[in-house]
Amino acid sequence: EIVLTQSPGTLSLSPGERATLSCRASQSISSSYLAWYQQKPGQAPRLLIYGASSRATGIPDRFSGSGSGTDFTLTISRLEPEDFAVYYCQQYGSSPLTFGGGTKVEIK
């Protein structure tokens, strides 16, 4: 099983600041089968990034993904009020599919 560790657990930032979220895998994720999801309170998760760096349809370009192998990053270049939420990474390259524990981005 591939274990995904997200850090930090909570990120306290102000609107307009840059957010950098980390996702580290316990073993290499082949072909960058890594996705990022955003979840707001009371809502279902929403796909942001797939293939480690491809933005999903309708996702603003302030969201970007990077990385390969075991180290991946989600960057939000300038936080908007609607971006404060919990973010999860997920690997979909092998079963069992696994999620990271999440990073909460909160308003400072």
**Site residues (CB under 8 A) for other proteins?**
1, 31, 33, 35, 37, 39, 44-47, 50-51, 56, 88, 90, 92-102
Task: State in angstroms the smallest separation of the CB of 61 from other proteins.
Answer: 19
Q: Which amino acid is at 98?
A: T
Nearer to other proteins, 15 or 26 (CB): 26
Cα separations in angstroms, 55 against 2, 34, 49, 51, 91: 23, 12, 5, 9, 16
Task: State in angstroms the smallest separation of the CB of 16 from other proteins.
Answer: 28
Nearer to other proteins, 69 or 101 (CB): 101
Nearer to other proteins, 6 or 19 (CB): 6
Nearer to other proteins, 16 or 58 (CB): 58
Task: State in angstroms the smallest separation of the CB of 57 from other proteins.
Answer: 8
Count the Cβ atoms, other than its own, within 10 Å of residue 52. Answer: 22
Q: Coil, strand or helix: which one is 83?
A: helix
Q: With contact defined as beta carbons under 8 Å apart, do 22 and 73 qualify?
A: yes
Task: State in angstroms the smallest separation of the CB of 86 from other proteins.
Answer: 8
CA–CA dist 59, 46 (Å, integer): 10
